[in-house]
Amino acid sequence: MLTRRDFLAASAAAAAVAQLKAAPTERESFAEKALGIAKKAGVTYADIRISRYDNQRIFTRERQVQNISSDSSYGYGVRVLKKGAWGFGASNDFSEKSLAEAVARAVEIAEANSAIQTRPVQLAPEKAYKATWKSAYEIDPFDVALDKKIELLLKINEATLKTQGVNFVRSNLSFMREDKFFASTEGSVIQQDIVRSSGGFQATAVDRAKGDSQSRSSLALPVQRGWEAIEQYPYLEEAAQAGEEAVAKLKAPSVEPGEYDLLLHPTHLWLTIHESCGHPTELDRALGYEANYAGTSFLTPDKLGKFRYGSKWVNMVADRMQPYGLATVAYDDDGVPAQRWHLVRDGIFVDYQTTREQAGLVAGVRPHACAHADSWSSVVFQRMPNVSLDPGDSKLTNEELMADIKKGILILGNGSFSIDQQRYNFQFGGQTFWEIKDGKKTRMLRDVAYQARTPEFWNACDGVASKAEYELPGALNDGKGEPPQSNAVSHGCSPARFRGINVINTGRTA
Amino acid sequence: MTRDQAESLAKKVLQAAKEPEVSLHLNLRRHGFLRFARNAPTTSGFTQVGEANVTAWKGKRKASASASVNLADMAEAESTLKSLVSQAEELAAVSPEDREYMPLLGPQEYVEVNGYDAETAEMPAARRTKAVSDAIETAKRQKVIAAGLFENVAQTSVLANSAGLFAHYPSSVATFSVTARSVDEQGSGYTAISSHKFASLDVKEMTAIASRKAIESRAGREIKPGAYTTILEPQAAADLISRLDFDARLSDEGRSVFTASGGKTRLGDRIFDPRVNLYVDPQHATIPSRPVGPEGYPVVKADLVREGVLKNLTYSRFWADKSKKQPGPYQTNLIIDGESTPLSKLIASTERGVLVTRLWYIRPVDPQQALFTGLTRDGTFWIEDGEIKYPIKNFRFNESPYRILGEVEALGTSQPAVSGERYGDFRMLLPAIKVKSFRFTSISDAV
């Protein structure tokens, strides 16, 4: 029964491990030195993040463990503002010499870039905070015995392989801890600890005679919780069902392309929200800061407060305080307190995701605590908060939504997903597809994907189920920025209905 | 981290291990970058990151431990690495036996690759500022708005194990990419280039090309979605063809496009047009790449496809052993031979068709047919009677790189390319590719 803490304690190299467990007072003292050096160099603002990221991952396939890995990354990044330009230096060498070099590099970069800066960077005023915060969890996943985790995964695999015709299964568990210390020249000193857990699997059935294969992945998605989230999810029941569904997909009829009403389950709809509302409401995209990579946005500032993004059912709420949300924090990486606000209210586009730096760029836009860096060695920039479809006071049920569909498809889980660089045209697949005929779920379909244009899709929404059916799925790997960074984010929703959506057939005859 | 320093460090750490089989991977990365948008710098920095990964086997039980490590201080690094070895050993002790266990590889011979350029590796901040300033000035002269990234990386990668294997590979890379957008937001153009030598990057020329595309692609007309003769510029070809997965195990297991019906693979079959040669060459002068593959197996020049025939699939050491094949070939770069036909001649020989300059948000739809969906981006044009007639709106596609390489009409001249969606040091050399038909399924309003 070895746990990660056991082997850290047992490790002979005490010096290295001690460094990984640097006490808060040591961090404050290190931060003071860094900020002092920066101030002496004449910066107008500086901050430092001293962060440790721990991950444990277990991968299995069929009846074997493929790998168990434990990784830990610890270092610091110093950000300075001088002559209106940003500079950043990061290192995992905690010596005084290296710290001085990192700050000097940051200052050198700011000075060099200030020569071509057209508009000096300005930060919206913010108070100084001294705070500590921990995300909500009951059981620290790093304290749970490794053999318990392996046992669960191998049981999941066995449960899928019980179904005749399932040839392959992969499963994994991942646990993440983010330990972030932030201090700025404005006087903020903030310590935050975040734990996230994730478990999933994929069963595959192969028809060698036909040269066909179909997979069914778990509908479980990562959360900002501890081991209790893994324990509470019905993995074994779902694994047995997934095995049967992977085999059934091989024989399921291929969808007839055309217009269908769609009933989208939260395990599917969260990703559609992410791509078609989460990203276009990012102010950096709308202003062209992401033009070279992630893209821009069709929700340009002239549409703010006027544009009908969706039907009256569509209320999109950004929330960095939502319990268990993957992007939930107490303070962002600018040191701004977490907030909740509407991006879309009653179908109208009303606000953006923003940071301190962006507040002055568009009239009336306030900083909304969306600054984030995925590592001590990454620069801070605007990242997505939890963005969710608020069911409000809807009294509808999933069954009632289905009952009013004559020709439709129920989609669960995420499959292929793709959207253009301004977030208009998208195509989504799923894990399982069920034909709805005259208000009733009938048979499984395959080769389903739907294509739509974002505003038309959300204006076709004519029903959202009540809070009783609300779920909070999400992802750990939302990519954006150059050099690219990853962000963990959740998107809550209840099942929702969309009328007359174009469904294509992705099968061999497509 | 010199070869001698790395060798001495690895020796000390491996000698101190309790278990007879331990493998150590070190990576020291020094990274400078300057991002710009709206014709001005945005974020910029310099980072120095040392990372170590240790895998230990206790009998056939395996586990890995990774951590950031201060490779500037050899004494501190030794201490951290010994701690990691202990962690991996203790984790391995409680792991189940690895059913795919393979003994460690002993010493290997690697081909000599010169992928390091001191000027690129040690670039000061002012040099990056100058490059970006040149790009912005070029864009301003063309009356477009530029966004992009200039970065330089110096990296030393070390692999060592207790069976005596040792590999040390220093490399450098400078990458520049730029998107130019017209002031009215109706046109967009993109170029990207990457080289181990900064001096071979012509930032002004690349920005000028992106700017021209932005201006020429303004106000695209709507063309009905469908299957059209299509020319993929090297950037677009790189975006799509880099998605082909040559994994042998997936093919043997019946779940790859390289699986033939009846449970066999397509090895030895003519799968592509006879003009298609697709191969790996770590010693290529223009795109040198790492000569060290997974577990330290050497990467050498090797064909995947020769004259349209599937010559090789990629075998892991375990799968090669089970299948009685050689491991590899591992892809650390990818080359498709071009011909001597310039892009202008590919266009001139096209009666009606589409010119695609970049593809975006490419995601798998069906692995069995290597079917992907994605979109055109940053300049798509209609060709008629051998000329570019006008810009067109972007399309969504549902298409397979496997299928289109079987429908090649002509190949252009090869040039270096990096996929616009993938980062790292994976570089390609490939030509513009003209295919008989490419399936566009809907229109995108995005510019």
My answer on whether B349 and B262 are in the same domain is: yes
CA distance A230 to chain B (A): 20
Q: How many domains does chain A have?
A: 2
Among A67, A98, A447, beta carbon nearest to B64: A67
My answer on whether A240 and A284 are in the same domain is: no
My answer on whether B261 and B179 are in the same domain is: no
* Tokens at A409, concatenated: 């498809």
My answer on whether A352 and A468 are in the same domain is: yes
My answer on whether A241 and A266 are in the same domain is: no
Q: Which among A216, A233, A251 is the end of a domain?
A: A251
Instruction: Name the residue range of residue B258's domain.
Output: 220-447
Q: How many CB pairs under 8 A join A and B?
A: 308
Q: Mutation target for A interface from B87, B134, B136, B377: give the one with most A CBs within 10 A.
A: B87
Among A109, A289, A421, beta carbon nearest to B360: A421
The CA distance from A222 to A218, in Å, is 11
For residue B265, give the chain A residue with the closest CA.
A211
Which of A497-506, B47-56, B88-97 shows the lowest mean pLDDT across its residues? B88-97
CA distance B387 to chain A (A): 27
Mean pLDDT, rounded, for B350-379: 96
Cis ω before B367 (30° cut-off from 0): no
Confidence of residue A7 (pLDDT cuts 50, 70, 90): very low
The CATH number of whichever domain residue A163 belongs to comes to: 3.30.2290.10
Length of chain A (residues):
510
pLDDT at A389: 98
pLDDT at A264: 98
Among A67, A116, A290, beta carbon nearest to B129: A116
User: CA B182: distance to chain centroid?
Assistant: 29
Which of A273-282, B306-315, B362-371 shows the lowest mean pLDDT across its residues? B362-371
Among A108, A116, A423, beta carbon nearest to B136: A116
Confidence of residue B131 (pLDDT cuts 50, 70, 90): very high
Burial (0-12, 13-18, 19+ Cβ within 10 Å), B440: buried
Query: Please, are residues A462 and A391 in contact by the beta-carbon 8 Å criterion?
Result: no
Mean pLDDT, rounded, for B69-96: 93
The CATH number of whichever domain residue B165 belongs to comes to: 3.30.2290.10
Among A86, A453, A504, beta carbon nearest to B441: A504
My answer on whether A434 and A500 are in the same domain is: yes
Residue at A440 is within a domain: yes
Confidence of residue A508 (pLDDT cuts 50, 70, 90): low
Whether A211 has a pLDDT exceeding 90, the answer reads no
Whether A237 has a pLDDT exceeding 90, the answer reads yes
For residue B394, give the chain A residue with the closest CA.
A420
My answer on whether A64 and A127 are in the same domain is: yes
CA distance B292 to chain A (A): 21
For residue B344, the 8-state DSSP code is H
CA distance B418 to chain A (A): 13
Confidence of residue A15 (pLDDT cuts 50, 70, 90): very low
CA distance A41 to chain B (A): 17
Among B90, B361, B442, beta carbon nearest to A2: B90
Whether A16 has a pLDDT exceeding 60, the answer reads no
Confidence of residue A4 (pLDDT cuts 50, 70, 90): very low
Using a CB-CB cut-off of 8 Å, the residues of chain B touching A69 are 63-66
Whether B228 has a pLDDT exceeding 80, the answer reads yes
The CA distance from A66 to A77, in Å, is 34
Longest dimension (CA), chain A: 74
Percentage of residues in chain A having pLDDT higher than 90: 92
pLDDT at B423: 59
Using a CB-CB cut-off of 8 Å, the residues of chain A touching B53 are 71
My answer on whether B446 and B421 are in the same domain is: yes
My answer on whether A452 and A471 are in the same domain is: yes
Among B70, B125, B420, beta carbon nearest to A108: B125
pLDDT at A22: 62
CA distance A392 to chain B (A): 32
Instruction: Name the residue range of residue A421's domain.
Output: 258-505
Whether A13 has a pLDDT exceeding 90, the answer reads no
Mean pLDDT, rounded, for B277-295: 97
Q: Which among A251, A273, A293 is the end of a domain?
A: A251
Q: CB distance A117–B40 less than 8 Å?
A: yes
Whether A405 has a pLDDT exceeding 90, the answer reads yes
Nearest to B284 by CA among B113, B422, B401, B38: B113
Burial (0-12, 13-18, 19+ Cβ within 10 Å), A306: exposed
Burial (0-12, 13-18, 19+ Cβ within 10 Å), B293: buried
Q: How many domains does chain B have?
A: 2
CA distance B277 to chain A (A): 26
Q: CB distance A146–B94 less than 8 Å?
A: yes
Contacts of residue A236, defined as CB under 8 A and 6 or more positions apart, other chains included, come to A155, A156, A159
CA distance B18 to chain A (A): 12
My answer on whether A247 and A288 are in the same domain is: no
Among B145, B364, B396, beta carbon nearest to A451: B396
Q: CB distance B45–A11 less than 8 Å?
A: no
CA distance B313 to chain A (A): 18
Q: Which among B164, B195, B215 is the end of a domain?
A: B215
The CA distance from B177 to B198, in Å, is 13
Residue at A348 is within a domain: yes
pTM: 0.94
My answer on whether A52 and A100 are in the same domain is: yes
CA distance A469 to chain B (A): 29
For residue A71, give the chain B residue with the closest CA.
B66
Q: Which among A219, A251, A283 is the end of a domain?
A: A251
My answer on whether A184 and A301 are in the same domain is: no
CA distance A215 to chain B (A): 10
My answer on whether B410 and B335 are in the same domain is: yes
Q: Which among B192, B215, B238 is the end of a domain?
A: B215
Among B95, B125, B360, beta carbon nearest to A68: B95
Q: CB distance B80–A13 less than 8 Å?
A: yes
pLDDT at A359: 86
The overall average pLDDT reported for chain A is 94
Mean pLDDT, rounded, for B152-160: 97
CA distance A271 to chain B (A): 14
Q: CB distance A211–B38 less than 8 Å?
A: no
pLDDT at A17: 39
Mean pLDDT, rounded, for B430-443: 97
Using a CB-CB cut-off of 8 Å, the residues of chain B touching A211 are 254, 259-262, 368
Mean pLDDT, rounded, for B402-416: 97
My answer on whether B183 and B261 are in the same domain is: no
Percentage of residues in chain A having pLDDT higher than 70: 95
Number of C-alpha atoms within 13 angstroms, CB side, residue A14? 0
My answer on whether B234 and B171 are in the same domain is: no
Mean pLDDT, rounded, for B8-26: 96
Q: Which among B215, B244, B269 is the end of a domain?
A: B215
Confidence of residue B424 (pLDDT cuts 50, 70, 90): low
For residue B76, give the chain A residue with the closest CA.
A16
- Amino acid identity for residue A431 in this structure: Q
Using a CB-CB cut-off of 8 Å, the residues of chain A touching B174 are none
Among A16, A291, A293, beta carbon nearest to B80: A16
CB atoms under 10 Å from CB of B115, counted, come to 21
My answer on whether B193 and B286 are in the same domain is: no
Q: CB distance A69–B65 less than 8 Å?
A: yes
For residue A61, give the chain B residue with the closest CA.
B99
Using a CB-CB cut-off of 8 Å, the residues of chain B touching A106 are 45-46
Residue at A510 is within a domain: no
ipTM computed for the complex? 0.93
The CA distance from A99 to A23, in Å, is 18
Q: CB distance A90–B181 less than 8 Å?
A: no
My answer on whether A233 and A264 are in the same domain is: no
Q: CB distance A8–B53 less than 8 Å?
A: no
Task: Report residue A47: phi and psi, to 5°.
Answer: -140, 165
My answer on whether B153 and B289 are in the same domain is: no
Using a CB-CB cut-off of 8 Å, the residues of chain B touching A54 are none
The CA distance from A324 to A292, in Å, is 33
pLDDT in tens, B169-208: 999 999 999 999 999 999 999 999 999 999 999 999 999 9
My answer on whether A64 and A197 are in the same domain is: yes
Query: Please, are residues B174 and B34 in contact by the beta-carbon 8 Å criterion?
Result: no
Q: Mutation target for A interface from B18, B23, B60, B94: give the one with most A CBs within 10 A.
A: B94
Q: CB distance B178–A377 less than 8 Å?
A: no
My answer on whether B224 and B151 are in the same domain is: no
My answer on whether B26 and B165 are in the same domain is: yes
pLDDT in tens, A356-365: 999 889 998 9
Mean pLDDT, rounded, for A161-183: 97
My answer on whether A96 and A112 are in the same domain is: yes
Q: CB distance A71–B373 less than 8 Å?
A: no
The sign of the CA dihedral A116, B208, B377, A413 is negative
Among B38, B145, B255, beta carbon nearest to A204: B255
pLDDT at B426: 87
My answer on whether B167 and B268 are in the same domain is: no
Among A7, A75, A204, beta carbon nearest to B90: A7
Using a CB-CB cut-off of 8 Å, the residues of chain B touching A483 are 31, 33, 149, 151, 423
The CA distance from B94 to B365, in Å, is 38
My answer on whether B104 and B245 are in the same domain is: no
Whether B124 has a pLDDT exceeding 60, the answer reads yes
Confidence of residue A199 (pLDDT cuts 50, 70, 90): very high
